[in-house]
Structure 1
Amino acid sequence: MKRNAEIYLKNWLYKSHRKPLVLRGARQVGKTWSVRHLAKSENMKLIELNFEKDLIIKEIFTSNNPHEYISLLEMHLSCTINIENSLLFLDEVQAFPQILAKLRWFYEEMPELALIATGSLLDFTLEDHTFSMPVGRISYYYLEPFSFNEFLSVTGNEILRDFLDTINLTQISQGEAIKPLIHKKLLSLFKIYTIVGGMPEALSTWIDTHSFTEISIIQQDLLATYRDDFSKYSARSQKETLDIVMRSLPRMIGHKIKYSNISKEIRGDVIKRALNLLCTAKICHKIHTTSADGLPLDASSNPNKFKMIFLDSGLVSAALGLQLNLEMQKTNIELSNKGAIAEQVVGQLLRTTEPYYIEPSLHYWAREKKGSEAEVDYLVQSGSTLLPIEVKAGSTGSMKSLHLLMAQKGLKIAVRLNSDLPSLVDVNFKINPNDRAEYSLLSLPIYMTEQVKRLTG
């Protein structure tokens, strides 16, 4: 189950000025496995501490002296710790958040020791901490579910992944990028990825069994695990609201969130808090609307107007109760939800293209003018350029909103993701007597979502 994170973690491990690393991400995305695999692959002794399972461990970290920590750990664990060849792994640190403040002492007094901290609900700790975080003395890494590129690697399709990485704009403009036979195979693999999703346990089960029944069991178990976690970060009275909101989100993908559409019986402020809690747990992610006036996108975003995607497309399929064996027979990835699955999977893949050290964020553009509404699915930063992205589940679809945005903002390149072969064309479209959209439209098959920034940056 090789991951892109493996390359970064190895680079981090051998940095000359390495800082303690805080690994962040939703529960069950593979954080613990990644750390264990790093230690094994680099022949390091793994010192794994779990603050939920071994409560007495907290007593070791009462001082601000890392040398004392190591001495006490050697006695507690009955082992010798060579700090130059050991990896100290602090897991489930949300059970003892004060340990995060002490990472500065490791950085300042024991830089030879590799240290990684993580936890299944770590982001709640980081959001509400009352202690002083060691700013400038720790690094962050954000781990997402498996991407499609990673899926290709772990399913024995590394050649196809390498092939996609070499496609260039010249090949696309000349119509020579992908042969129809290979395109058909990639679409089929992408459909499987969309249904199975990128959660490690579900993906591993698919590799072992190729059984959609087994996949469904794993996905339902994961959803139940997230619901079981509600009591860990919310009051008992809010647990029911969290469950209602979580069950509602999969059918609302692709639509602006209105609290009344989630529940007419629950107050808007209560639903808002529940949504924010689910986002903090990284079970779902907001896509904020932006006016697209420039970069950074957050500067012109509206926090009160947003759409949502779920953590993972496979979990969306499970939450919607889709019969996966029947969905595989459909002609494109529209599935049963009118394109929402396509918008979901593109959003989660765009998150994987963000730099590892920046928390991913998503944006879209909307004009809410009565009788003339318009919306473009995603806006991303590609290099120093603002890049609009339209998602079409099939090979066709209206482009009026995209034309309007390009004309209003004077942008020169846009991307359309669909199920067709790649192409690059010049668009010259008259919006009205005074406005005309003139830009380059790069159409890419949806399985090339992770190539968007490389081809446009």
Structure 2
Amino acid sequence: MFFEREVTFQLKAWTSRPKPKPLLLKGARQVGKTSILKWFGKKEYEKTAYFNFDRQPDLKQFFELTKDPKRIIQNLSLVVGFSIEPRNTLIIFDEIQECKEALNSLKYFEESDEAYHVIGAGSLLGVTLGNYSSFPVGKVEFLEIHPLTFLEFLNQKDPEMAEFIRGIEKVEPLLDYFVNRISESFRLFMISGGMPEPAREIAENGDLSRVEELLDNINQAYQLDFSKHVPSKDIQKIAYIWDSIPSQLAKENKKFLYQVVKPGARAREYEDALTWLIQAGLVQKVSRINKAAIPLPAYLDLSAFKIYLLDVGLLRKKAGLDAKMILNPNDLFSEFKGALAENYILQSLLAQFDNAPVYWTSNGRAELDFLLQHEGELIPIEVKSAENIRGKSLSVYGEENNPKVKIRFSMRNLIQQEGLINIPLFLVDRTKYFLDFVLKV
């Protein structure tokens, strides 16, 4: 089973240009970068030339000896055993962060007269670029891939329902049959999360024990990255932060606290470690604002933020929450259901919108889960993990800021009432469509 991803539409737009700039595909380990690029090369090009600088370290010498793209391509053609030609060959440089000279060579590919189609990818590319001062700015394009969305998962698990969701044109309640059928797949997604391998396992076989094993393997792979790619002074600090995230999100106030990482911990001691996790794409930082005004980045409160994991399945597993508790929910983990729901919502919003959401507080009166800037409007968002929708945050925000539209995510049906859209959790991937629909009315 191969999960077709929305990012392929952006890849198609890139490849259709007369002379596309080299492209860097960012994303955490095991979100599916390599699989997507190989699939895309097979589908859209006559040939695909794939190189991995982690598994083929000898390739680095080709880029150390010359900066001429034609000579580099001649040498690489000998490696793959066929002629690498402009336009009809997709050139993939995987784990490109392992070869700084290859990263730097992208400048010369962009300046070349030949239209070479080059894509670089890497699991720690964000870390490398964040610490690589000589990177050729303006010579490349960037594209980021996130874990699978629920709709991408549903494409394979229940393609008929995926097509049904894409065909929803009005903000109005769905029939119970569709709600119940989609909800079954949604619970499975909340168990596996959006990492392709465990998602594929649960969609194809429904083997929960194997899903748990695969999630453990991913977590261990990340732990190995800590020891392999991080300065020795920060290895343990990164591990402490990584392991503290379920505890951070289990609090009623989910503001990140260094004291939860380790008693007596201070920000100045752990800031570099946290920055590494953010740059590696393993965690997402959501900053606080106290004033709801555009542009949101101008009003960030740098002293307060929340940290979420890149994937809801990994969060569930790290929290030690048994998969069967998702299939048969009960009150034992009611406090943590909110954290899972928020993490899931954040994943989907990041995949849909260019602007990252923030969260909003109002002098101790209320705390809004997310605030999103879209089409010149600020969209307040409240997340509820079930059908119980009691809460005052949206009301307080509405009184103070009079937004054009508000969003609540919950397990209640799709409905619009007096400027509020209630979107079922399983329809979060259609948020941008619903917003655009309502804002244009």
TM range (shorter): over 0.9
Matched to 1:83, the amino acid is P
d(CA) in 2 for partners of 1:113 and 1:3?
24
Give the structure 2 partner of residue 206 of structure 1. 202
Q: Is the 8 A contact 1:332 1:393 kept in 2?
A: no
Q: Tell me, yes or no, if structure 1 residue 290 matches structure 2 residue 282.
A: no
Identify unmatched segments of 5+ residues in structure 2: 437-441
Give the structure 1 partner of residue 423 of structure 2. 444
Give the structure 1 partner of residue 382 of structure 2. 390
Aligned length: 430
- In structure 2, the CA distance between the partners of 1:444 and 1:77, relative to structure 1 (3 Å rule), is closer
Query: Residue 219 of structure 2 is aligned with which of 214, 217, 223?
Result: 223
Q: Is the 8 A contact 1:90 1:118 kept in 2?
A: yes
Q: Is the 8 A contact 1:26 1:121 kept in 2?
A: yes
Q: Is the 8 A contact 1:284 1:308 kept in 2?
A: yes
Q: Tell me, yes or no, if structure 1 residue 403 matches structure 2 residue 395.
A: yes
Q: Is the 8 A contact 2:381 2:409 kept in 1?
A: yes
Give the structure 1 partner of residue 360 of structure 2. 365
> How big is the shift at 1:130?
2.6
Matched to 1:45, the amino acid is K
d(CA) in 1 for partners of 2:217 and 2:135?
37
Query: Residue 30 of structure 2 is aligned with which of 18, 22, 28?
Result: 28
- In structure 2, the CA distance between the partners of 1:180 and 1:331, relative to structure 1 (3 Å rule), is farther
Partner SS, residue 304 of structure 1:
strand
Runs of 4 or more consecutive aligned structure 1 residues displaced over 4 Å after TM superposition: 331-336
> How big is the shift at 1:380?
1.0
Q: Tell me, yes or no, if structure 1 residue 188 matches structure 2 residue 190.
A: no
d(CA) in 1 for partners of 2:322 and 2:365?
34
Give the structure 2 partner of residue 147 of structure 1. 149
For residues 101-147 of structure 1, the C-alpha deviation after alignment (integer angstroms, 9 at most, x for no partner) is 22122122144221100111111110011314141x31111100000
Matched to 1:288, the amino acid is S
Give the structure 2 partner of residue 48 of structure 1. 50
Q: Is the 8 A contact 2:37 2:92 kept in 1?
A: yes
Q: Tell me, yes or no, if structure 1 residue 162 matches structure 2 residue 163.
A: yes
Give the structure 1 partner of residue 301 of structure 2. 302
The structure in which a higher percent of residues are helix is 2
Partner SS, residue 210 of structure 1:
coil
Identify unmatched segments of 5+ residues in structure 1: 427-439
Aligned Cα RMSD in Å? 2.0
Matched to 1:363, the amino acid is V
d(CA) in 2 for partners of 1:418 and 1:332?
17
> What does 1:258-407 align with in structure 2 at a 5 Å threshold?
258-330=257-329, 337-355=336-354, 361-367=356-362, 369=363, 372-407=364-399
For residues 211-269 of structure 1, the C-alpha deviation after alignment (integer angstroms, 9 at most, x for no partner) is 11000000011011101100233222322221121111023226001111221143332
> How big is the shift at 1:338?
4.1
d(CA) in 1 for partners of 2:119 and 2:333?
40
d(CA) in 1 for partners of 2:312 and 2:337?
14
- In structure 2, the CA distance between the partners of 1:318 and 1:118, relative to structure 1 (3 Å rule), is same
Q: Is the 8 A contact 1:20 1:139 kept in 2?
A: yes
TM-score (norm 2): 0.92
For residues 307-351 of structure 1, the C-alpha deviation after alignment (integer angstroms, 9 at most, x for no partner) is 111110100111011111233111699766141111111111111
Q: Is the 8 A contact 1:395 1:420 kept in 2?
A: yes
> How big is the shift at 1:37?
0.5
Give the structure 2 partner of residue 412 of structure 1. 404
For residues 289-317 of structure 1, the C-alpha deviation after alignment (integer angstroms, 9 at most, x for no partner) is 12343222212112221011111010011
